[in-house]
């Protein structure tokens, strides 16, 4: 089996429960070792030291949950997606669920080169007054052409304009549970990355939210997309010239 055979098993997974504290590399290492245990017909690459040939979706920060972690396993021959899903699930720890899978033939780019946009939902405890303020802050955000946030990294401090990378931003109030839901569609992947936490922190800064509110923020990655001509297309729906697709 060689890496030249481009049949791919694309799998959509969740990241939930305590496993949301895994880093990007820890999460994919866990999935890859599960794949190895499950006996999928995986393709390996490397002259001296064999490595599993895979491609995966953009990093998810530690602490975020997700229902759209995507990985392409390059496989040597066709395997029924349902069977692959079953066997992979048996070998995954609690907190990672296989949600969908499909076999993709040649012609489709690996998932790591497809994704450029993500849909995130941030929830936080907040009362009606704060929710109103947030609506106003979101409107101001969307009416601006420049929104700068300070990104502090170990070796640099930069002011970054995040406005261009935010394509949709909405706030909704769930009065029954005194929660706000902030939905955002942002650049995530090949076109650059907007950190959802920076958007949330910016808005909470504008409304001068209490630290107690900030503590309750939970962010969930709902979906990943490829943006084609303004349309958002799920990598699980991307058409490939494949007899296995769909």
Partner 1 sequence: MASSRSMAGSLWDQIEPLLLRVERPSRYLGCEWNAPKVKEGDFRVVVAYPDIYEVGVSNLGLAIIQEVVNLLDGVSCERVFSPSTDMEEELRKEKIPLFSLESHRPVGSCDIFGISIPHELTYTNILNLIYLANLPVRASEREDGPIIVGGGYGTVNPEPLADFFDLFVLGEAEESFAELVELVKALKGKKGRQEIIEEASKIPGIYRPIDFEFSYLEDGRIAAVRFRGGENASLKKRLVDLDKHLRPSRPIVPFCEAVHDRLNVEIFRGCTRGCRFCQAGMVYRPVRERSAHLVERMIQEALQITGYDEVSLCSLSSTDYTEIKRVVSDLKNICKRMQVNITLPSLRMDGFSVEIASGLNAAGSITFAPEAATERLRRVLNKPIGEAEMIEAVVKAVRHGKRRIKLYFMIGLPTETDKDVSEIPKLIFRLRDAIRAEGLAPPAFNISVSSFVPKAHTPFQWCAQETLASLEGKQRMLRSALQVRGVNLSWHDRYMSTVEGLLSRGDRRLGRVIETAWRKGAKFDSWSEHFRFSVWEESCLENGVDIEFYLHRERDPDEIFPWDHLHFGPSKDFLFREYRRALSSELTVDCRFGDCYGCGACENNKKSHLLKGERI
Question: What is the binding site for partner 1 (CB under 8 A)?
Answer: 17-19, 21-23, 25-27, 29-30, 32-37, 42, 44, 47-52, 62-63, 91, 93-95, 215
* HSE value, Cβ hemisphere, 13 Å, CA-based, for 25: 0
Q: Which is nearer to partner 1, 48 or 229 (CB)?
A: 48
Query: What is the C-alpha separation between 163 and 153, in angstroms, rounded?
Result: 20
Query: What is the C-alpha separation between 64 and 20, in angstroms, rounded?
Result: 6
Taking the complex as a whole, how short is the minimal distance between the CB of residue 140 and partner 1, in angstroms?
Answer: 28
Query: What is the C-alpha separation between 12 and 193, in angstroms, rounded?
Result: 20
Q: Which is nearer to partner 1, 42 or 118 (CB)?
A: 42
Q: Which is nearer to partner 1, 154 or 229 (CB)?
A: 154
Give the DSSP H/E element, type plus range, for residue 190: none
What does DSSP say about strands 117-125 and 179-189: parallel, antiparallel, or unpaired? Answer: antiparallel
Residue position matching structure tokens 């939902």: 121
Q: Which is nearer to partner 1, 216 or 234 (CB)?
A: 216
Q: Which is nearer to partner 1, 62 or 142 (CB)?
A: 62
Q: What is the DSSP letter of 59?
A: P
- φ and ψ of 90, to 5 deg: -60, -25
Taking the complex as a whole, how short is the minimal distance between the CB of residue 34 and partner 1, in angstroms?
Answer: 7
Query: What is the C-alpha separation between 222 and 66, in angstroms, rounded?
Result: 6
Query: What is the C-alpha separation between 167 and 184, in angstroms, rounded?
Result: 7
Taking the complex as a whole, how short is the minimal distance between the CB of residue 132 and partner 1, in angstroms?
Answer: 28
Query: What is the C-alpha separation between 202 and 159, in angstroms, rounded?
Result: 13
Taking the complex as a whole, how short is the minimal distance between the CB of residue 40 and partner 1, in angstroms?
Answer: 11
Which residues sit opposite 8 in a β-bridge? Answer: 74, 104
Q: Which is nearer to partner 1, 123 or 242 (CB)?
A: 123
Taking the complex as a whole, how short is the minimal distance between the CB of residue 211 and partner 1, in angstroms?
Answer: 13
Taking the complex as a whole, how short is the minimal distance between the CB of residue 63 and partner 1, in angstroms?
Answer: 5
């Amino acid at each position: 089996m060689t890496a030249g055979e481009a049949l791919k098993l694309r799998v959509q997974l969740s990241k939930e429960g305590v496993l949301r504290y895994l880093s990007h590399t820890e999460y994919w290492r866990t999935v890859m070792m599960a794949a190895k245990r499950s006996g999928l017909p995986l393709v390996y690459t490397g002259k001296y030291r064999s490595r599993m040939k895979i491609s995966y979706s953009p990093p998810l920060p530690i602490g975020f949950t997700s229902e759209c972690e995507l990985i392409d396993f390059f496989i040597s021959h066709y395997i029924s997606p349902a069977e692959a899903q079953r066997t992979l699930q048996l070998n995954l720890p609690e907190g990672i669920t296989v949600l969908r899978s499909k076999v993709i033939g040649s012609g489709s780019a690996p998932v790591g080169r497809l994704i450029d946009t993500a849909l995130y939902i941030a929830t936080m405890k907040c009362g009606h007054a704060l929710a109103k303020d947030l609506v106003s802050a979101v409107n101001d955000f969307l009416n601006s052409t420049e929104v700068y946030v300070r990104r502090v990294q170990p070796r640099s401090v930069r002011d970054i304009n995040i406005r261009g990378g935010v394509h949709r931003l909405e706030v909704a109030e769930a009065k029954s549970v005194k929660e706000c839901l902030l939905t955002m569609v942002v650049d995530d992947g090949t076109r650059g990355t907007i950190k959802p936490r920076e958007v949330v922190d910016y808005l909470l800064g504008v409304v001068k939210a209490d630290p107690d509110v900030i503590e309750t923020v939970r962010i969930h990655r709902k979906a990943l997309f490829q943006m084609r001509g303004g349309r958002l297309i799920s990598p699980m729906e991307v058409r490939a010239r494949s007899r296995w697709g769909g």
